[in-house]
Amino acid sequence: MSKKLLVAVMLIGACGAGATTLYTQTNAGSQPAPAGAQSNAKISDQDIALMRKDLRAQKKQLVAANLSLTTDQATKFWPVYDQYIAEQTKIHDQKYAVIKEFATSWGTIDDAKAAELTNRALAVDQQVTQLRVKYVPIFSKVLPGKQVATFYQIDRRLQMMVDLQLMSQLPLVQAQ
């Protein structure tokens, strides 16, 4: 991984802190926080929205730093990228809703609720995959194949790091 992508690790740390405080806030007084969670921390939906906006801006900076584009390519690529991210954000809204519901339900999740949340999370994963597939030919109209592949490598690496950090902050369902 390049030094530029290592900057993403700092970005992920900030994201993980938000996930921990989301869990703590939504479960205040109902269950003890999982190991490593910050106590008495509060984060609002507005705070989460701002954090996600900041993550998107930092992600764009990391893509720009790691995807070598000519001026002409950049002029064509960034509007497509912005459209892609707008669609991705709508899908991720569903992901964060599932995470929030998991956090607010922790301690009372029965088998039916666990199955429902699992199915919703997997449906979001499918939508993200479908979006990526949809955009391959669109990105391919503005960039050559190697740059499209590089963009998807960067995009997936960053998203996997965010997802790993978020999910590592939530306790396993069977631990409730």
- Tell me the one-letter amino acid at 106: W
Q: Tell me, what's the pLDDT at 31?
A: 44
Given a cut of 60, whether residue 71 has pLDDT beyond it is yes
Task: Give tens-digit pLDDT for 116-156.
Answer: 999 999 999 999 999 999 999 999 999 999 999 999 999 99
Q: Which residues lie closer than 8 Å to 45 by C-beta, 6 or more apart?
A: none
> Which among 105, 103, 147, 152 is positioned nearest to 128, based on CA atoms?
152
**Mean confidence (pLDDT) of the chain:** 80
Does pLDDT of 28 surpass 70?
A: no
Mean pLDDT of 40-49: 61
Of the candidate ranges 17-21, 43-47, 67-71, the one whose mean pLDDT is the lowest: 17-21
List the chain domain ranges: 3-175
Residue type, 176: Q
- pLDDT tens for 159-168 read 998 888 888 8
Instruction: Evaluate whether 15 touches 168 at the Cβ level (below 8 Å).
Output: no
Place of tokens 């390519």: 73
Looking at the chain, the whole-number percentage of residues with pLDDT higher than 70 is 74
Identify the pLDDT of residue 3: 43
Among residues 11, 36, 38, 10, the alpha carbon closest in space to that of 22 is found at 38
